[in-house]
Structure 1
Amino acid sequence: MTEFPRHPEHAFVVGEIHSRPLPEFDSSRVVLHFAFMSEGGKSVASAVFAQLCRMRGETVPAAEMRYHSIPWGRGRLRWESHSEFTTFTFDAPAPRSFLGDLHDHPFAAGFMPPGSLISATRIEIRANTPANRKLLDKFDPESLAVNRLSDGKSLLATDFRQDPNGMTVFLLLESELGPAQIGAYAKMAIELETYRTLAMLGLPLARSLSQKLSNMEVDLSRLTAETKDASADESAELLAKINAMAAELESDAAASLFRFGASRAYGGIVQDRIKALGNDALAGNVTLGGYINRSLPPALRTCASVEDRQANLSRKLARVANLLRAKVDIEIESQNRNLLSSMNRRTQLQLRLQQTVEGLSVAAVSYYVVGLFYYLAQAFEKFLPAPLTPKMLAGLFVPVAILCIWLVVRRIRNHHSESAG
């Protein structure tokens, strides 16, 4: 067959479906699952798992791998790397007693967590027998949630409370389920608890931002009222305050963008797992999905509400800022017009003064030139034909002198005007 050119990501997208194989568990098994936030980066979590591999003499996974598992005693340790958290899952034979201690597991005193713990889950897998069904009595009856699985012969139960070790305990009572089915239901329970807690991370942030938004909305209402009668200087000051509020709002929105988006995504995964588990409840009990949906959807709606308020407040701030900016611009234009009008009046006054000075200058220079001409005529008086006298020549020279000097001054003024233009 012809070899076709491959997309650069072809190998990744084809192999991704196999990147996290579904675990298979037998009956009478216990599963411990821990999810840690990756505050230190993925390299820290990889280093922790690599150290565990070396401790057991196992091969360290390649740096680009996001899933790996190694045998650990009578069980198996699985490591998974996600976008913002890392998980460690360990399964082993269940102890004789419910919630009994495990003596050989990876999470002993020497275990170094790669980040802060966000979710810890313990799943006890046992046969659905009358004796084991009595284990349901060990859960808090006020928050006990039970799902019937498969054909109704298997049960998945939890009260979403933590045991003395801080782990949320699930009890999977299986009947005629194969290892793959048990593994699938155990994985659903793990993901339900892990993604439920991750989705709820947006709620504390939403609550803190909600109070801040309320304060900003009150401030905006007050500042908007002040814009009605504000002067130009006051409008500029109000505009500066509005811009500062807008900058703070955008900073908060940018900081919460990832958290709220992640909460929505995690919430969607939780709803998918709830749907997969079904809605078949044990008589007298609520399903896991029914119990989770008492708190998770309202929390996600709170996050969405804060996002909507941020967007709405941003639009309001932009509108008020535009109004103030227009008002300030109009005031500045009015001031500029007044300034230009004042400058025009001063220019006209200066022009008239200049013309007056030029007229006086022409008269003064003409008087001086005529005087010089009179002295010159007196010096050559004996050469003058009768009846001309020096005074008569000076009188005749006056209009000539004035015209010549005026022409010279006019030429100089025109030359300066052309140079300035």
Structure 2
Amino acid sequence: MSFSNLGRFVNSSNNAYGLTLHPSRETLYAEMHSRPFQVLPSPAQVSYLAILLTPEQKQKEFDVFCALYEDFGQVPPLEDGVCFDVDFGEFRIRRDKHLEFTSYMVITKKEVPDGHFVDNPLSLLPKDWLAAIPGTVIAAFHVEIADARTQPEPDLFEVKGYFEEMRLVGSRPQNGDAQVWTTFRLHSDGCGRFLIYNKNMSDSQLGRMVQRVVEIETYRLFALLALPIARKYNPQLAQMDQQLAMMTARLADAKEELDEQALLTELINMAAWVEAARAQTTFRFSATNAYHDLVIKNLNELKEDEVSGHLTITEFMTRRLTPAVRTCKATGEHLENLSRRIDRVSDMMRTQVEMSIQSQNQSLLASMDRRSKIQLAMQHTVEGLSVAAISYYSIGLLKFLMQALYDRGVHFDKSLAMGIAVPVVVGGVWLATHQIHKRFLKLAKEKVNESDGS
């Protein structure tokens, strides 16, 4: 086949080389650029919201986001996407859609002359628009970025005033090119605060670092969502552990007489509770592990240096977040372990019940065997009585026959004839009854053999 004829097998409309491309190829390329890092100037203000949404609320949330375009005279997008970055003039807003939450980052470039956290970018948004956003807010905090390249950093006393005199957590990320202060607490406006001094970073480097700080705080909070659930279930799990241990001890005690039906009902109730708890917690505990991994990854990328006398962000996180995550993980494993133990105890109960049923069956079979022997003895007795009764009536009929013959003139000794007839009749009746009995036994054996063969 010549190369000129190959063209009819190739869809040349896909690209300039006439190659057939996978339909998802462009999507795969676009995925790597769906969440670009921010480029942030110094100074700048950032307000951040992470809103937990149910599947039913996601479409409404997108409709509310589109309404913001209309409020500022811009054309809203036709379809929802992973990331939108829109400049509304006085501020810029970035919306990121995640698996279970949507985040808003509102950015302004103005410098606040009256001090940090006096104002924030959320005040630039319409209040009725903020109130219309569905879902529940998990993370809400402000980030103030100050330029420390041409002016000295403020002293510690001044920085502490920006955080309402709360205990500070501080570090020098990116090998000392910036300084970050925070408290990981809620302040009087119900939001958290981060203060970042840019000492030697470009706008791109600063944007990447701020993005990591934002993700650390967001994923930290989402990772901790499972902690109240774990604390709720831990006392119940301990109680159920003790209950299952007592049940197992009762099964192991051969002297104790068990109410198997009650034990099975108790086991079924325990198994139902454990499966319901697993259904309610599996996603949350799995999400906690995933969020924790992302937090640790971002902490490693910060490359922090210590500020004398203060915990770094990494030290603070690993001191409190990691034990909380381990508690959630231990609770999930406890549920799985309890489920397996209940299964094993259920197997023991089923085995014991089956053994009890087999013992009852053996007793029943032995009882049936005794009854069969009694019935057989009674049958032999009845057969003997039957032979006697049939012989009696047969001899009576024979007597009438002899009397009729004698009356007709056939002379013979009636007493002698009757004496000879009695043993003959009795023997004949017994032989006939015995043959009938043997025939029925043979038929019964044939039926048993047929059923065994099938």
* TM-score past 0.5 threshold: yes
How many matched pairs? 420
Task: Encode CA deviations 1:268-297: one digit per residue, 9 max, x unaligned.
Answer: 111111111112122232211111222100
Q: Which moved more, 1:346-355 or 1:148-157?
A: 148-157
Q: Which amino acid aligns with 1:81?
A: K
Residues 218-258 of structure 1, C-alpha deviation per residue, up to 9 Å, x if partnerless?
21222223331565652332233123212212221232111
Aligned equivalent of 1:52: 68
Name the structure 1 match of 2:206. Answer: 182
Q: 1:398 aligns with which of 425, 433, 437?
A: 425
Instruction: Check 1:27–1:235 CA distance in 2 against 1; reply closer, same or farther (3 A cut).
Output: same
Question: Do 2:47 and 2:120's aligned partners in 1 also have CA atoms closer than 8 Å?
Answer: no
Is the Cα–Cα contact under 8 Å of residues 145 and 287 in structure 1 kept in the other structure?
yes
Query: Which residue type is aligned with residue 202 of structure 1?
Result: A
Q: Distance in 1 between matches of 2:421 and 2:379?
A: 29
Which residue number in structure 1 is paired with residue 152 of structure 2? 130
- Counterpart of 2:246? 222
Aligned-pair CA distance for 1:76:
1.1
> Is contact 2:174-2:304 (8 Å) kept?
no
User: Which amino acid in 1 is paired with 2:348?
Assistant: L
Alignment of 1:203 with 2:222, yes or no, is no
1:189 CA drift (Å): 1.4
Structure 2 CA distance for partners of 1:140 and 1:268, relative to 1, 3 Å: farther
* Contact 1:263/1:300, CA 8 A, preserved across alignment: yes
Which of 368, 371, 374 aligns to 2:396? It is 371
Query: CA separation of 1:65/1:23 partners in 2, compared to 1, >3 Å: closer, same or farther?
Result: same
**In structure 2, distance between residues paired with 1:245 and 1:407:** 64
Q: Is the 8 A contact 2:93 2:107 kept in 1?
A: yes
Q: Which residue pairs with 1:166 in the alignment?
A: 190
Give distance in 1, aligned partners of 2:66 and 2:383: 97
Give the secondary-structure state (helix, strand or coil) at the position aligned to 1:380: helix
Change (3 A) 1:343 1:404: closer
Residue 243 of structure 1 aligns to a residue in which SS?
helix
User: Structure 1 residues 274-283 or 237-246, which shifts more?
Assistant: 237-246
Tell me the amino acid that sits aligned with residue 341 of structure 2: K
- Does 1:81 pair with 2:101? no
Q: Compute the RMSD of aligned alpha carbons.
A: 2.7
**Matches of 2:126 and 2:347 in 1, distance apart?**
59
1:175 Cα offset (Å): 2.8
Instruction: Please give the alpha-carbon distance, in whole angstroms, between the structure 2 residues aligned to 1:332 and 1:153.
Output: 78
The amino acid that maps onto 2:272 is A
Name the amino acid aligned to 1:275: N
Does residue 113 (structure 1) correspond to residue 133 (structure 2)? The answer is yes
1:21 aligns with: 36
Q: Percent identity?
A: 29
State the distance in 2 between where 1:255 and 1:19 align: 32
Please identify, of 183-192 and 324-333, the stretch whose mean Cα deviation from structure 2 is larger. 324-333
Cα distance in 1 for residues equivalent to 2:422 and 2:376: 32
Question: Partner of 2:53 in structure 1?
Answer: 38
Once the 2 structures are TM-superposed, how far is the Cα of residue 86 of structure 1 from its aligned partner?
A: 1.0
Say which SS state the counterpart of residue 162 (structure 1) adopts.
coil
Aligned residue type for 2:227: L
Letter matched to residue 263 of structure 2: L
Aligned partner letter, 2:142: R
Aligned counterparts, 1:283-298, within 5 A: 283-298=308-323
44-53 or 102-111, which moves further after superposition? 102-111
Give me the whole-angstrom Cα distance separating, in 1, the residues matched to 2:403 and 2:332.
Answer: 103
Q: Which structure 2 residues correspond to residues 195-344 of structure 1 after superposition, within 5 A?
A: 195-227=219-251, 228-229=253-254, 233-344=258-369
Kindly tell me: are residues 193 and 37 of structure 1, through their superposed partners in 2, closer, same or farther at Cα, counting changes over 3 Å?
same
Instruction: Specify whether residues 380 and 88 from structure 1 end up closer, same or farther in structure 2 by C-alpha distance, changes over 3 A only.
Output: same
Q: In 2, are the aligned partners of 1:378 and 1:390 still within 8 Å (CA)?
A: no
Q: Tell me the residue number matched to 1:96.
A: 113
8 A Cα contact 1:202 1:260, kept in partner? yes
